[in-house]
Structures are given as structure tokens and as C-alpha cells.
Structure 1
Amino acid sequence: VQLLEEGLNFTQAAHAVGVSKRTGKVWRNGRTRSNGRNERPLVDWYGGRVKDSTTTVSSRYLSIDERIEIADLSRSGTSVRGIARRLGRSASTVSRELRRNAHPADGGYRPHRADQLAASRRPRPKRRKIRPGTDLYAYVAAGLKRHWSPEQISNRLVREYPDNDHMRACHETIYQAVYVQPRGELRRQVGNALRKGRAVRHSRSDGQSRRPRFREPMVMISERPAQIEDRAVPGHWEGDLICGTSNKSAIGTLVERTTRYTVLLALPDGHDAEHVQRAITAKMGQLPAPLLNSLTWDQGAELALHRDITASLDMQVYFCDPHSPWQRGTNENTNGLLRQYFPKGTDLS
């Protein structure tokens, strides 16, 4: 609209914003879809401005202002994770936004075009993708029964059906099918096949504040350098324990964030703070110093001697917030995979 007011003709204005003349007319005049549904114009022609397509939509969706900031930061060379931190969004949200709304001509990101595309994809109700009676439903149900994670199922679909677009489902679609869809058909079909076996999904909310866990002050994950998030430099680890029957036995797990290289710690004599500290120091001490940059752990009592670990290995230890295992998601996912080989109830001594 602004370009038209500046004297450009319709074809020139459409080309300047990176859309076809036909798309521009749809924005201006609206259209009737094949199902008979009328879509109002996306341009408030007489008001002289583009409609804000997100004014009545939940804040969990990106707004036009956020899309403009994404475009500016992306052009300036800011990384996806850097953009996500600026917006307070997850890196996957920003990455998906840039990928799915890339312009077909040059791969560039145009925020207003992206906002209109998002609005056009939003009409509800939408038909569920994973529906009973479909091949996709059968494949997902079979995968969950085999205790595959939604991420594993999604990736296997791409490999096993490379030319079949109908056999596609991202991991979030599978989670939605299990936890959200009405009547929970898939949930009843697969029972507790998901490795977590939860009846509901846990939100990634901040853990509740509580008194300090250890006598020695903890360095929290909020103080961890931002560059660790990019996984560009190896040597940053995440760790936890996998416990056996009645928590009487355990093994330690350490996962390197960049390579996903995994180290298992034998704890035959117990998994209290002293034994865990000795096991970590002995095992990690065999690695080159450049691979010992940091360790992120939850606030379990087994790491009460974290200062001794830092002193022995010259490796800073960071702690997750309470009830926030997703803050060490690489290790959490690895532990889920290991549980297929060490199911709960196993004697790990």
C-alpha cells in the first residue's frame, strides 16, 4: 500500500515486496476458496495499511513485529540461537520460521510475506494428519509400541518413504496426536508406549524457587556463556544418573553436546556424592584438556562435591533450574534411549 501511494503501479509494487501480481490482488481483494469459504482481503485498502494478521491470535504465534526483527537480525548475520535469545523464543521456532517462509526465488526471508503466509495457513478447523485407518497412523502406532521416540519415528519416515509426502509427520505432530487430539484414540492404542509414560506433557516452565541445594554455592545455567548454546565448540558436557531397582544402584551418563559422544560411569560401590565425584574425575581425566570445558547437571545430591570436580579437572560445573530436565536435553534424550537397554527395575550394580 505504501509503495502504491508512492506512485508505483501494481506490478512494480508486487515485485518490490517479492510477490506475484496475482498474490498482490488476493491481498487487496480477497478470494473465494475451492470449498466456498470467503477470505477477506489481507490489506485494509481504504485504511491504507496491511492488516495485522495476529491481533486476535495467541501470543505463542510470532507477531509481525517479531518477524521484522527476525529479518533484520538474520540480515545482520546473527545466528538462529542469537535471534531466539533476543526474542525470547526457542531456536527451533526461529529456524522453522526462516526455513518454511524462505522466498522461492532467492531463499530470502521477507517478514510481511511470511506473516501473510502464516495467516493463510491458520484457518481452522484443519483435518488431523495422523488419523485412524491411514498408513501414517499405523506406522506411528507401530513405532510407539516398539518404544521409538517421536523424533525417531519422524526421521525414519523420511528415510523409509523418501518419495511419499503423505508419510510425513514431525515429532510435534506425533506428540499432539498422542496427548492433545480429542478422544485420545492413539493414546488408547499405544498405552504407555512413550518412554516417559506420562499421562500429560510437562511444560517447560521455570522451576519453583527453593533453598540452595548444596553447602557450596552453585553456578546456575543462567550464568553459562551463551556460546555454549551454539554447540560450535566441543568439550561441553551434560550429565545425570540412571538408577536401578529402588534407586539402590546406578550408572552415570555423560554426553558431549556437540558430538553426542557418550561416556558411561560404573558406580558399583554406590552413587553418593563421593563415589560420583571419584568416577567423574577418573573417567574424564583420561580425556584431553580441550575437551573438558564445562559440565551441566541437575541439582541431584550426587553432585554435592561439584567444587572438587572443578578443582580436579579445571572444568566448570553448571546446574539446571529445579524441575527443568529440558535444560540438559541432550543428556535427557540419551538417557531415554539407554533405558531401552537398561529398563527401570534393572540391577545396575
Structure 2
Amino acid sequence: MYQEAPLSAGPSRYLREADRIHIADRLRETATVRALAAGLGRSPSTVSREIRRNRHPVSGAYRPHAAQARTDGRRPRPKSVKIGQNPVLRDFIQDRLTRRWSPEQICQALRAQFPDRPDMHVVHEPVYQALYVQGRGELRRELAKALRSGRARRRPHRQTASRQPRFSTPMVMISERPAEVSDRAVPGHWEGDLIIGKDGSSAIGTLVERATRYVMLLHFPDGRSAGHVRDALVETVQRLPAHLVHALTWDQGAEMAAHGFFTIATDIPVYFGDPASPWQRGSNENTNGLFRQYFPKGTDLAVHTREDLAAAAAELNGRPRKTLGWETPAERLHKLLTA
């Protein structure tokens, strides 16, 4: 069964500037420390310590960019580089670089050849730094040409702000979705996604209504391009009463590139979840898992007809759900239609 996951858990051991911005935003919303920690996938003590150490000493306000600057200032000065202090180590690395070994291969060879000499052990990052960083002189700069990249300087990763927009029509993010959606009190807010078949060559679209858990499936007999997804969505939502379709939430998959045209055709706004955050569409992710009973992973989904999809959806909508007080999604939806 679906379980809620953290909002922005990342691989970094330390809090990043994006995490601090998230903390500041949630503090303005008067979120608790435990809610903040759950959203970041961190310990509550980590978040509490961050706020205590980096809030303004006079006003008590937590400003994320100032907090990041204070954290950077507290970092210890860089240690002296082992490669520059050990001529034997430096010569060993330079010799292997001339043979076009990668820094990682060199580091493994050092550990194998000098197992009992920690002074000869390095990881590959200092080797790259010794090649790229100006002014250190640990390794000859011309050795950088022996790297497989052939670059004498490191290429910085693109910053998020400098990336090209994913879609021609700007995305409206899930954070701007009406508050009424979160508590499921108002029906008509749907979540959508694709179930992908074998080798990514086929797909089935899934739609689930958040309040009733009622599900509908999208049939793609001719492919799953943005145009196909748009047309299937338009056809499906137009079969529903207008008061039961207020908004749609999707992930940032390329299949939603035509979301602007869908909104124009239906007057239904589309909200997008954050990258790698499937828990923000928890009802839909849980539903996709249930549909895998009918459409197993690694199978060709193109073999299923529209009638097959309707039968699977009808069967799932007829299952009693604990979250609905053991009513079925079909019964809950029928109450809304007849109210």
C-alpha cells in the first residue's frame, strides 16, 4: 500500500540552500519542526538545530540565503593536499595519467600496490582537483589532456535557473494548487500518470479522483506522444459532469507537453508535481500499483483493447476501500452524481 515519502529528500549529507529555502517557506506557513523534517527527509533535531544556529540574532527571523552564508563561513579551511606533499604519490599518479588511466583506476591501483601505506591512498576527486585547480601545481597541467574528456578545465553543471523551460507553456506547480485539494473535501480534483509497458513502447493512462478514488483509464492505440495524451484526456474528461472536474495534477513527463492546449480545450487547469516527488500524487501512485495486477510490468500494454481497460477500471472501482469507510469508489461517485 502507498506510504507517504519525504518531499525533497536528496543525496546530500548536509542541508543545501534549496533545503534552507524550503525551511523558510514552511516557517512562514507556521509549519512545525516535525512537519519540516518530514518534508525534507531529515531528523527533527537537524532542522531544529539549523533554525536555532542560523536565525537572525536580533529579529529571530530565518533567512535562507543568510543561513547558507553563515554555514559556508563556518566551514574549516581546506586541508593541505596530499598529492602536493608526497613526491612518490605525485609521480605515481603522473605516470598513470600519461598511460591514459582514469583517476579512479589510479586510486584503485594505489590501494592494491600500497595496501599498508595510507599516505599513498587517495580518492579520485583530489586527483581531478590537482589537475583542474589553478595555482596548486601538484600535477602537470598538460596531463589533463590525457583524461578521457580531454578538458583542461572542469565544466560546471548548469544551474536550475539557467535551464531551458521544459514545456513551451509554463508549468503551474503543485504548490500553487488550491488548498481545498489537500484535504480531499471537495471532489473533482484528479491525478494522472502513465503505466509504461515493455521497452517503453506502450502505455496506459490512469486518472484517479482524489476524494472518491474513482479511476478511469486512457487508451493509446496509436502511441503515447503529447498529442495522443492530450486528445485522450480531452475525450475522457468531457464525458464527466463539469462539477466533477476542477483540476488535474500530473508529473513532469514529456507526455504532458501539450498541457496548455488541453487547458484551452477543457478550461481545466493542470498542476505539476516537483521532480522525483511521486508522493505528491499519492492516490495516483497507489492506483498504478493496483492496476499492475491487471497490466504486469514488462508486458506489452498495446495488446489491451479499450474494452479491457474499461473492465479493469470497473472492477477496481467496485472494490470496497478502507479509506472510504468500506464503500466502493463507484458508490461514492454515485452519491455525488445523485446529490
TM-score, normalising length from structure 2? 0.43
TM-score, normalising length from structure 1? 0.42
Higher relative contact order (Cα pairs below 8 Å, separated by 6+ residues):
2
Q: Over alpha carbons, which structure has the higher Rg?
A: 2
